Amino acid sequence: MSNQNKGRMLLILVAFLYGSLNVAFKMIYAMPDPPMASTLSVARGWLAAATFIPIVMTTPKSPPEPAAVGEKKKPPLWQAALELAFWNFGAQGLLNIGLLFTDASRASFLTQMSVVITPIISMFAGQTVPKIVWAGCAVALSGLVMLSGALGGAATAGAAATFAFSTGDLLVLGGALAWSMYLFRIASVGRRYAEIPLQSIKTTLLATLYSVWFGFSALQLALTEGATISALWPGWKNMTAWALLLYSAVGPGAIADVLQQQGQKEVSASEANVILSSEPVFTAICARLILGEITSTSENIGGGLIVLGALLASGA
């Protein structure tokens, strides 16, 4: 198996892990007295950071690689990690805030606009995006539209509203742009640094950013409602919720981050985005097996189109 195909297989595994994350979050939010979004994010963030501690301690340090002829001196590790943490935080934070002002199905469609945004960013950066990747993007995007239901039901009846962007829509689109920037930058940065050190520092910095968000949420709750910090998660003693949080931090968190960086060393950012867009397909499979949710015909067709788009892009 070629390195490029290994990279694609790793990204498919990452898409599965991300898909299972959505189901884990849904199970947590369905429990009595669930946490607020900021509380869930900060708890998961620090659990993911703690996951890297034994890995870092047992991984032998390798000497820094000399720069290639004509290659610019790479920035410090912490600086590269901070940039990735910033784009990662922007993607998740803007989506969470946007969901306060727009429908979940609409947000789902707008978030996946990153499938189109990523190759555009790559093109403006001077990279060549093969036509087959553009074709895969178009097919995957059409599948995502069907999965989100953006072209069905009430959305079809109000077609004019579909193209009118609210404040929430713009925030979600900003999150899609941040995710595209993360994919684009990790494709470049990831080739210059080892996975474990970069992702461990990025995860710790990301948890710090979540802590700031958590602090603002606690302060706002105290000022507006006079509530204590425990109000951010009344059911924090639920051990099942903590077990799901631990899984989300280890599997779709630390492990997925490392595998994604490894995979994107061999695959372009545009192709990686198309492959990762298969996440809703794995979400639907996990939801069916774990939660008993049944997908509709349009959702099955949409999932098939996403897989087809990923296969097209992978054939570039």
Provide, rounded to the nearest whole percent, the portion of the chain with pLDDT above 90. Answer: 27
Q: Is the pLDDT of residue 19 over 60?
A: yes
Instruction: Tell me how many helices (H) and strands (E) the chain has.
Output: 15, 0
Q: Is the pLDDT of residue 247 over 50?
A: yes
Inside any domain, residue 61: no
Inside any domain, residue 65: no
pTM as predicted: 0.78
Cα dihedral 169, 174, 179, 181 sign: positive
- What b/e sequence results for 3-15 when a residue is b if at least 16 CB atoms lie within 10 Å of its CB, and e otherwise? ebeebbebbbbbb
pLDDT at 222: 86
Least confident of 102-116, 146-160, 214-228: 146-160
Query: How many whole angstroms from its chain centre is CA 282?
Result: 14
Domain that holds residue 34: 3-56+75-314
Inside any domain, residue 64: no
pLDDT digits (tens, 9 = 90+) for 200-220: 999 999 999 999 999 998 998
Euclidean distance between CA atoms 148 and 26, whole angstroms: 17
Inside any domain, residue 88: yes
pLDDT digits (tens, 9 = 90+) for 95-125: 777 766 766 556 666 677 787 788 888 888 8
Inside any domain, residue 81: yes
Inside any domain, residue 245: yes
| Number of domains making up the chain | 1
Residue 182 confidence class, pLDDT cut points 50, 70, 90: very high
Cα-Cα-Cα-Cα torsion 134, 171, 258, 312, nearest 10 degrees, comes to -20
